[in-house]
Structures are given as structure tokens and as C-alpha cells.
Structure 1
Amino acid sequence: MFYFLSKTIDVLLMPLTMAFIAFLYVLLTKNRARSRKVLIGTLTALYLVSNPILVNELLKWWEPKSLNEEKKYEVAVILTGGIIKLYHAPTKHVFFGKSGDRAVQAFELYKRGKIKKIIISGGEGSLRGSKRNNSENNGIRQFLMESGVAADDIVQDSLALNTRQNAVNTAMILKTQFNTDKCMLITSAFHLPRAEGCFRKEGIMVMPCPSHYLQEDAVIWFDKLFPSEEALASFYLVWHEMIGYVVYKVVGYI
């Protein structure tokens, strides 16, 4: 039920969905004065959430700074979610998604001797039932092994369907298989605040390791004053995380 509700809330509170509802209201209402105000308000809001300068400042505030990785950890956890776009099992061909940097960061830490074991946490669920898809989890494992990570150093948790389940399942794995409550947490920088909160709630001492940064050190030029599809996409991701953080806080997951 929580999975279904979270996905529904996520869709309804997204910028384009709200804008679509507002424009539909403008078309259907007979109150012209009110429709004009709604139209102006909606266009203003769309400009604000698609302005590269404003969105980049929001990202700089939300995304944590890159942290010191000099400490060595026995285990690192990679949270799935857009890492693998497609995994063709028969040919073992891996196509990376937008957050593929998560897997790359894990491999680099392993190669440098900063971590010894890697837990891949996350599966894919369906709103229509309990059907699960482990292709992304398997694809990440395939990439890590082909890159040089020993198969025995990889643990798969394909049962977790959300960030809270990532934390709960990881806590159990750390306790039963590694006899520890410490791990390095690898996920996208915009997702890290919610993920870190969930892991700490489950009693895990986390060393956060942000990857896949959305913010930029871009020079401000006149083109940054105009709306941008890329900025809107980045706002969508961080807005989704802010809503998720509040919901998780309310239900006690953080």
C-alpha cells in the first residue's frame, strides 16, 4: 500500500502534472479573472523551476559536499535506481542509465582498497502486483565482475523496493553476514539526504559517499536567464527527493 501511495503522491505533486491541472482549470473555468491569475501564477512557477541559475543554487543547497574517502570500510552499499538502463542477460551486455556513476564510484573505491565488499541493494516492483524484476541488480553485478570485482565480494539484495527497505535489508545483511553496523553508502547526491536518514534510523553508522552530482560550476551567461528543459529535469529529481524526505519523516522512516 505504501508503495502504491508513494508513487501516486509522487505523480500528483510533480511540476508538469500540477501545471497540466492548472491549465485544464484555466480552459474549463468561466471565471476569467481567476483563470488569468492562475495562468500567470502557473507560468511564473514554471519559469522559476526551469531557470538554470535558480535550480543550480537549489541543488548546491540540497546536495551534500563530496566527503573524505580516506577511511577504509569493510562494506559499501550501492542503492539501485537508474544505474542500469538495460541489461541483456544472454549476451551479458550492460547499458548504463543516468545514475551509472554510482556503480563506477563503487568499483573505483574497491580498486583503491577503500572497500572490500559491495552490497547491491534494490529491486524493481510493479504497481499491479508483487512482480519483481532483478535485471538492474544483476546488471550492476555483471559490470562490477567484468571490471575486476571478485564474485565472492558482491552481495545482492533484490528484495528492497524503496529506500526504507534498502536500509532495513542492509542492516540485516550487515549484522548476519559481516557482524558490523558500519558501511559506506553510495547513491546519487540528490538522494543521499533521505537515504542517509533511513540508514541511520536502522542503527547503521553510515559513511556517505555521494555520486552522480546534478549541480554545476557553470559560468552565468545570458542564456541561463531562459527556461531550460535540463534545469526542469533536475528540479524534478530534487523536488521528488524533498517530497520523499518529508513523507518518510512523517511516517517515521527517518
Structure 2
Amino acid sequence: MFFMLSKLFWVLFAPMTFISFLIAGGFLARRYKVGRIAMGMGISLLLLCGFFPIGNNLLVYQENQFPLLKNLPPKVDGIIVLGGSIELERSVARGQVQMNEHAPRVTEMMALAKLYPKAKIVFSGGNGRFKETSSSEAKETDKILKSVGFDTSRMVYEGESRNTYENFMFSKKLVDPKPNEIWLLDTSAFHMKRAVGIFRSNGWDVIPYPAGYLTDGNYEFVPNFDVLGNMYKLQIAVKEMIGMMAYTLTGKIKLNEVTDPLPVSSGPAGH
């Protein structure tokens, strides 16, 4: 139920959808004052969000919550990699694995696997869309890893999850982590706070390992003409904000669990 409601809410309130509703609805009801107000609000929001780097600045804030670790622990028991890097429907339709801008989740996992040859690796990703497919992110990731000669013998694939909370639940059930074990959580930087919050709030202490950035980390305040880029970044940032709010309100995240990275007790591992 949570999955269905979250998807429906996003369909209705994604920034571009919301702005389009305001403009279209206002135009249809332009005879009335409320219609003209709605259309004016929609056009104003489109201009503001399209020409100003609001989305970039929201993403910078999200990505900077957990800085890239400079000193990794000398020993790691496991690495959890969250899905989101595979364009599943396109991969199935084209018969070739198609990756997106979140591919660093997988490439960084490959680097970590080399750094920690004894660590167990969990890839968690099913199909996060309404439309069913004959495959899963886990299956497609296995294909691409094997195609580049990566040793998948210590990979554990979880291919049923549809969202971040299910990533946590199904992965924990698969590997049953012990309290004294050290696990790295590998996901995109903008998504890290919500992911870490879910894992830690539900009893799995993980060390955040941000993999992949959509900004250069600098706030911008000068308008520009990259309307599509600005709106794209806004969509991602707002979706993450809504996800964080929903998971907090439903008790899946306790905010006091997501303030700091876990301390690393020893020196760098040489990464």
C-alpha cells in the first residue's frame, strides 16, 4: 500500500506535473479569478524554477550531507549497493543493459570489491515502477558485471525490492548482519541521508559511502537558460525531499539516527 500511495502522490505532485496542472487548469478556468490566479502561479513557478538553479541548490544541500569518506576502515564485512542505476524497461526492450546517471553506484562497488576482497556484496534492486517486466535491476546488473569480467561469486542479489525501505528489509533478511559487523552503504550522494536513515533507524548500522554526484557541490545564484537541466534537478531533489518526509512521518526513519557518519576507528585503507 505504501508503495502504491507514494507512486500516486508523486505522479500528482511532481514539480512539472503540478506546474502543468496549474497552467492548464487555470487556462481552462480563465473566466474566473481563481483560474487566472492559478495560471499566473503556474507560469511564475515555471519561470522561477526553469531559469534559476533552485534544483541545483537543493541537490547540493542533499549531496553534502555525508561527505566522501577519506579514511575507509581497514576491514569491511559487507557492501550494500542500492539499485537505481539501471533503466529496466529499456534494457528489456533493447536486449542490452542500459545504465543511467546513477551508474557510479555500480562502478564504485567494483572498486570497493577490489579494495575489500573478502567482503560480501549485496546488490538490492527489483523493479520500482508500476509496469511489470520480465527482469529486475539485480538480473541486469549481474549481466553487466559478468560482461566486463567481474567475479560475481561473492555477490548476493536481491531482486524483489521496489523502494528504499524494501531494499533494507529484503537485504537484511538475506544476509542477517551481526551487530559487530562493518557494512558500507553505497548509493548516490543525494539519496544517502534517506537511505542511511532507514538502515540505522531499523537496527542496521552502516557507514555511508556516497557514489555519484549530480552537482559540483557549489551553490549557484545566477539565473541561466538551462531550463531542462534546472527542472530535471528540481524533480530529483523534490522527490527526495518528499521521500524523506514520507518515511519520517510513517516512522520508518528516526531523524536522530541520520545526523553523522559512523566513526571510522582506524586509518585509511588506501582507496
TM-score where L is the length of structure 1: 0.84
How far did 1:32 drift? 4.5
- Cα distance in structure 1, aligned partners of 2:158 and 2:244: 23
1:110 — aligned with what? 113
User: How do 1:220-239 residues align onto structure 2 when only pairs under 5 Å count?
Assistant: 224-226=223-225, 228-239=227-238
Which structure 2 segments of 5+ residues have no match? 254-271
How many Å apart are 1:206 and its aligned residue?
Answer: 1.0
Q: What are the superposed Cα offsets for residues 111-147 of structure 1, whole Å, 9 maximum, x if unpaired?
A: 233772210102115637xx56433211212333344
Higher RCO (C-alpha 8 Å, min separation 6): 2
Contact 1:120 1:137 in 2 (8 A): yes
Report Cα offsets for 1:205-233 as digits up to 9, x if no partner.
111111221113679797x4335201111
Counterparts of 1:30 and 1:236 in 2: how far apart (Å)? Answer: 27
Q: Can you list the C-alpha shifts for 1:41-89, whole angstroms capped at 9, x where unaligned?
A: 2222223323353322221111133233521312111111233555469
Cα distance in 2, alignment partners of residues 252 and 135 from structure 1: 28
2:162 counterpart residue number: 161
Q: CA separation of 1:68/1:52 partners in 2, compared to 1, >3 Å: closer, same or farther? A: farther
CA–CA distance in structure 2, aligned partners of residues 244 and 115 of structure 1:
34
Match of 2:261 in 1: none
Q: Secondary structure at the match of 1:186?
A: strand
What secondary structure does 2:97 align onto?
strand
Partner of 1:197: 197
Offset at residue 158 of structure 1 (A): 0.8
Q: Structure 1 residues 181 and 198, CA, compared in 2 at 3 Å: closer, same or farther?
A: farther
Contact kept in structure 2, 1:168 and 1:202, CA below 8 Å: no
Distance apart, 1:20 and its partner CA = 1.8
Q: Percent identity?
A: 27
Matched, 1:244 2:246: no
Conserved 8 A contact 1:125-1:132: no
Partner of 1:67: 69
| 1:175 matched to 2:155 | no
Structure 1: where are the runs of 5+ without partners?
A: none
CA contact (8 A) 1:83 1:98 kept: no
Residues 226 and 37 (structure 1), Cα distance of their counterparts in 2 relative to 1, 3 Å cut: farther
Q: 1:94 and 1:21 mapped to 2: Cα distance? A: 35
Relative to structure 1, the CA distance from residue 167 to residue 135 in structure 2 (aligned partners, 3 Å threshold; closer, same or farther) is closer
2: CA distance, partners of 1:240 / 1:221: 22
- Provide the C-alpha distance between the structure 1 equivalents of 2:251 and 2:220, rounded to a whole number of angstroms: 40
In structure 2, the residue matched to 1:78 is 81
Question: What is the CA–CA distance in structure 2 between the aligned matches of 1:232 and 1:139, rounded to whole Å?
Answer: 29
* 1:4 aligned onto 2:4: yes
Query: AA paired with 2:241?
Result: M
Native 8 Å contact 1:181 1:203 kept in 2: no
Contact 1:122 1:158 in 2 (8 A): yes
Aligned length: 249
Q: 1:94 aligns with which of 91, 94, 97?
A: 97
Q: Which residue of 1 aligns with 2:152?
A: 151
Letter of the 1:99 partner, please give it: H
Q: Distance in 2 between matches of 1:138 and 1:89?
A: 14
